[in-house]
């Protein structure tokens, strides 16, 4: 065994690989929630993205450089359409955001539209040929320590890193980001200075949805890689928890995503090395950690302190001003 088969390096490398869909999904949800709209439809949107990407990758012939971007685009469009429904219901019709988001996940989710589409499209019969494989960046994949962790990931991981950097810059260093945060904090104030509350909310809910679509495509184009009903297996819910876990900040969320990613395969890695530990305990850990964080931030003063957008979950009605 080489140095890079060291337990900690293996865990770190797989944390990033399996944390990548969480990064996309949670980043999208951060953008939506920063605008004041909570979207519990992440799991459903991920499955819509996964099934659309699988359809394109199965049915479009061509080199990977053409097929994969098309598949990602399809995933973004499909999940973005799901998000647009949520945006219309919650922003224009001012339906309760929790109910609309849950409806989206149930409607699009594992026993709904995504498996129905997969059935009529006859997906899942064979593995997808064009996949996002792990790359050997700059020939450094075998470099001790950092090679497997930083230079042996898929293109999706590098895309997620650039989006996290971009989103952090956008949120905290640009005028539009400032406007976005003000819409989420105090829509009345934002409205009074001429910022379009509905416009910002629509844009960021739908943009967040497209990110969830990429998260779903991570499964059907890279992790699994084929279609299987419910293949995201609840990762959308973990992503929702991650938003709180990361206090609505992309950089902290990234850390949380990799922590959860590490836990997802830690049980197997320990089993394979003869360390007896209950798989049930390990797979429950992310949820237990989430509950602890939720309890810690449950008081409204703590939430304010930790950065929850003040208007999160509240529909905005102009005439109430």
List interacting residues with another protein (CB under 8 A).
Answer: 1, 5, 10, 14, 18, 89, 93-96, 99-100, 103, 106-107, 111-113, 115-116, 118-119, 122-127, 133-134, 219, 223-231, 233, 264-265, 268-269, 271-274, 276, 279-280, 315, 317, 320
Residue 174 burial (CB count, 10 A): 11
Q: DSSP class of residue 228?
A: -
Q: Least distance (Å) from another protein to the CB of residue 139? A: 18
Q: Least distance (Å) from another protein to the CB of residue 317? A: 7
Q: Which is nearer to another protein, 11 or 252 (CB)?
A: 11
C-alpha distance from residue 269 to each of 15, 39, 64, 262 (Å): 12, 34, 31, 10
Q: DSSP class of residue 195?
A: -
Residues 187 and 36 sit within 8 Å (Cβ to Cβ): yes
Helices 250-272 & 155-173, crossing angle to 10 degrees?
150
Q: Which is nearer to another protein, 103 or 214 (CB)?
A: 103
Q: Give, rounded to a whole angstrom, the gap between the first and last alpha carbons of the chain.
A: 67
Q: Least distance (Å) from another protein to the CB of residue 14? A: 7
Distance CA 41, CA 195 (A): 26
Q: Which is nearer to another protein, 9 or 79 (CB)?
A: 9
Q: Least distance (Å) from another protein to the CB of residue 76? A: 22
Q: DSSP class of residue 113?
A: H
Instruction: Report residue 8 as tokens.
Output: 């900690």
Q: Which is nearer to another protein, 279 or 292 (CB)?
A: 279
Q: Which is nearer to another protein, 148 or 250 (CB)?
A: 148
Residues 46 and 235 sit within 8 Å (Cβ to Cβ): yes
Q: Least distance (Å) from another protein to the CB of residue 314? A: 8
């Amino acid at each position: 065994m080489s140095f890079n088969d060291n337990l900690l390096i293996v865990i770190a490398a797989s944390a990033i690989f399996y944390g990548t869909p969480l990064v996309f999904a949670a980043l999208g949800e951060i953008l939506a929630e920063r605008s004041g709209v909570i979207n519990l439809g992440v799991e459903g949107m991920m499955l819509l993205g996964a099934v659309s990407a699988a359809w394109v990758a199965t049915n479009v012939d061509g080199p990977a450089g053409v097929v994969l971007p098309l598949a990602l685009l399809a995933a973004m469009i499909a999940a973005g359409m799901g998000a647009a429904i949520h945006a219309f219901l919650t922003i224009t019709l001012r339906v309760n955001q929790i109910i609309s988001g849950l409806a989206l996940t149930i409607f699009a989710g594992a026993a709904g539209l995504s498996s129905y589409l997969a059935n009529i499209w006859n997906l899942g019969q064979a593995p997808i040929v064009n996949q996002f494989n792990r790359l050997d960046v700059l020939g450094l994949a075998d470099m001790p320590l950092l090679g497997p962790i930083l230079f042996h990931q898929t293109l999706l991981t590098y895309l997620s890193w650039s989006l996290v950097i971009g989103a952090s810059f956008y949120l905290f260093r640009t005028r539009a980001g400032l406007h976005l945060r003000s819409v989420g904090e105090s829509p009345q104030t934002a409205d009074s200075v001429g910022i379009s509350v509905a416009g910002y909310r629509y844009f960021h809910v739908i943009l967040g949805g497209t990110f969830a679509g990429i998260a779903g495509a991570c499964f059907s184009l890279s992790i699994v890689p084929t279609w299987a009903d419910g293949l995201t297996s609840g990762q959308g819910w973990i992503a929702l928890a991650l938003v709180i876990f990361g206090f609505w900040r992309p950089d902290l969320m990234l850390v949380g995503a990799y922590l959860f990613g590490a836990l997802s395969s830690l049980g197997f890695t320990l089993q394979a090395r003869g360390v007896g530990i209950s798989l049930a305990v390990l797979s429950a850990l992310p949820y237990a950690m989430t509950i602890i964080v939720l309890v810690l931030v449950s008081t409204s003063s703590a939430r304010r302190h930790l950065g929850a957008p003040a208007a999160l979950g509240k529909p905005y009605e102009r005439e109430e001003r």
